[in-house]
Amino acid sequence: MLRTDIKNLQEIPNVGKAIEKDFNIIGVNSPKQLIGKDPFKMYNELCNETNQKHDPCVIDVFISAVRYMEGGPPKKWWEFTEERKNKLGAN
């Protein structure tokens, strides 16, 4: 079940004004644009666009938003921390 009825990024669990701004910086302006995106690539793009390294927890929020828009259950962003650490290494 895709959540195509969601029109605003802040309707997605864990997405507030700051994350919405981050999404906008990388060209994501609507929730449906998150479907099929790679949260790790999105994070790298954000760091490149802003010329700064963002907190890795941003990846967790990106994962949660993408998964939710792809039909996953709403979860707290920190429930994706272990997945991020497993993929990137615990450092």
- In tens, the pLDDT along 56-88 reads 999 999 999 999 999 999 999 999 999 999 998
Q: Phi, psi (5° rounding) for residue 80?
A: -105, 0
Give yes or no for residue 1 having a pLDDT over 80: no
How far apart (Å, rounded) are the C-alpha atoms in residues 18 and 28? 13
Provide the domain limits for residue 47: 32-91
Model confidence, pTM: 0.94
Number of domains in the chain: 1
Q: Is residue 16 in some structural domain?
A: no
Q: Is residue 50 in some structural domain?
A: yes
How far apart (Å, rounded) are the C-alpha atoms in residues 22 and 7? 17
Q: Is residue 22 in some structural domain?
A: no
Q: Is residue 27 in some structural domain?
A: no
How far apart (Å, rounded) are the C-alpha atoms in residues 91 and 81? 12
